[in-house]
Chains A and B, each alone.
Chain A
Amino acid sequence: MNSLLVAAVVGLGLGAFLQKGRFCFVNAFRDFFAYKDSRVTKGVLAATLLTMVFWGIAYQLGYYQGFWTPAWGLTGLLGGFVFGIGMTYAGGCASGTLYRAGEGYLQFWLTLAFMGVGYAVFTVAFPTLQSTYFGPLQFGEGVSLFTISPIPAGLLALLVAAGVTLVYATLVGRGETKGEPEERATVASVQPSVLLAPVVGARQFAAGTRQYVDGLVEAWRTPLASSKRPWDPRTAALGITAVAVLWFTQVSIVGVTGPEARWTGYLLSQVGVDAGSFEYWGAILFRGAGVGVTTDMVMIGFVILGAGLAAAWSGDFSIRVPKRRRLPNAVVGGFLMGAGSRLAPGCNIGNIYSGIAELSVHSFIAAAGIVLGVYVMTHWIYREVGCAI
């Protein structure tokens, strides 16, 4: 298949789904910590698990191009933490920054620019970092559990997804049985409470899913009007999964900051910088193939365009001028995101979404680092009004 066409379809689709679902990983974790709002968290969870299942099946059947599995170690935790701090301060993750740039936020174009500064500074420091940072902190070769598991990949993905859903149902169920003494009294009298939580949670989960499907059917009665309203993040999750599976079978896993770092090298090479002579750009990001425009760079460009089109359609597009007091968020947050995503390596999409979906050992560690960074920064921003968790 024509790779440019794939990049356009996947990019436009991703951008539109991200925009319509407000698919922001900062929102997903920050608001969960700050006031236990889990709408977007559920969307992120659904997208990751669904993608995991379909990627696992695609891998087992041989329809894939390759995994992204950096060496694992403490770099994931440290770089992820820096990235998490950065994205919470900036008010948008790697994917959130992209789709808001498409919505017309000058704030997030500035964030993108300073992510570029982060990539460039990292690139200059890379030879030193390799011996002082990556050398001592990376412990082993990166690996995807899909490739080493004795269980077939499709089945492994299903088992992990089922396991996570069960844990989720148990947590929801536990919260629910605490909250509703009546239900506990009637059901708990016949069942030990340890068994009760997953059952109540699963019932909640089923009811929620039913409610979601009803809402979807309802929305389809007025497709035009519904398409302009904000979508349930789970609908966005389904759409994201569809384009991510297409991308996986044709190109690779979905990443954002890798292609962005390549854009930085490419744009600098256009203004006379010999980007290819830097080891990180020349040998690693462009793999010795010369500094040029790669398929995934085109895809990232289409994400911004797709988000812009979706926003214009929904009446959400507007050139937004930032408040002056928010400029440090774009400058410092963007820089920390750019640098953090290289130090880990990987951003929220590479590590939380794609990385967990491909069961990469490095990404489990990096995802923990990112969430930890969000937690710390959320508590700092909410220091005057307090956090729920």
Chain B
Amino acid sequence: MPSIDDVTDAPDELSDEEAESLFEQADEVQDMMGEVCPYPQVEAKKGLQGLDAGDLLVQETDHVPCTENVPRAVGDDADARVWRSGDGVYRIYLEKQ
């Protein structure tokens, strides 16, 4: 069973500038616009399998639940940060551990 701490640790949020500069360093970008759960979770896991430690995988999505579900799905495999554009587009930054 999961611990109660799972409830509270939401992924860190990135500022607009950080999000932009990090986006340029991405090793792989997954276009998840128009997708619904759980496919982004599955794609994130598959994407990370093909990357080396330290590599950055970025998902661009318009599906709100992904900002929490994708970081949780990859768990300890990646360090997750999220950027919210404010108009329904989100980026999820996954740094493979």
Which A residues form the contact surface with B (CB < 8 A)? 22, 24, 26-27, 30-31, 34-39, 42, 90-92, 103-105, 107, 171-172, 174-176, 179, 204-205, 207-208, 211-212, 215, 230, 232, 311, 315-318, 320-323, 326, 329, 378, 381-382, 384-385
Contacts and interface: CB of A to CB of B under 8 A. Distances in A.
A212 B34 contact: no
A323 B33 contact: yes
A100 B35 CA distance: 13
Given A39-B72, A208-B4, A215-B8, 17 more contacts: A34-B41, A35-B41, A35-B75, A37-B69, A38-B1, A39-B68, A175-B2, A176-B1, A311-B64, A315-B88, A316-B88, A317-B88, A320-B33, A381-B38, A382-B42, A384-B46, A385-B46
Contact of A35 (B35, B68, B73, B87): B73
A315 B84 contact: yes
17 contacts: A22-B64, A24-B65, A37-B69, A38-B2, A39-B7, A91-B38, A91-B39, A92-B37, A105-B36, A175-B2, A176-B1, A176-B3, A211-B4, A211-B7, A212-B7, A322-B34, A385-B46
Contacts of A326: 34-36, 39
A31 B42 contact: no
A27 B69 contact: yes
Contacts of B68: 22, 39, 230
A73 to B, nearest CB: 32
B87 A318 contact: yes
B62 interface: yes
A384 B42 contact: yes
Interface of B: 1-4, 6-8, 10, 33-39, 41-42, 45-46, 62-65, 67-69, 72-73, 75, 84-89
Contacts of A315: 84-88
Contacts of A204: 3-4
Contacts of A320: 33-34, 62-63, 88
Contacts of B63: 320
Given A104-B88, A385-B45, A321 B34 contact: yes
A104 to B, nearest CB: 7
B84 A385 contact: no
A39 B65 contact: no
A90 to B, nearest CB: 8
Contacts of A26: 37
B4 A91 contact: no
A94 B59 CA distance: 27
A232 B2 contact: no
B69 A318 contact: no
Contacts of B3: 172, 175-176, 179, 204
A273 B60 CA distance: 44
Given A22-B65, A205-B4, A323 B34 contact: yes
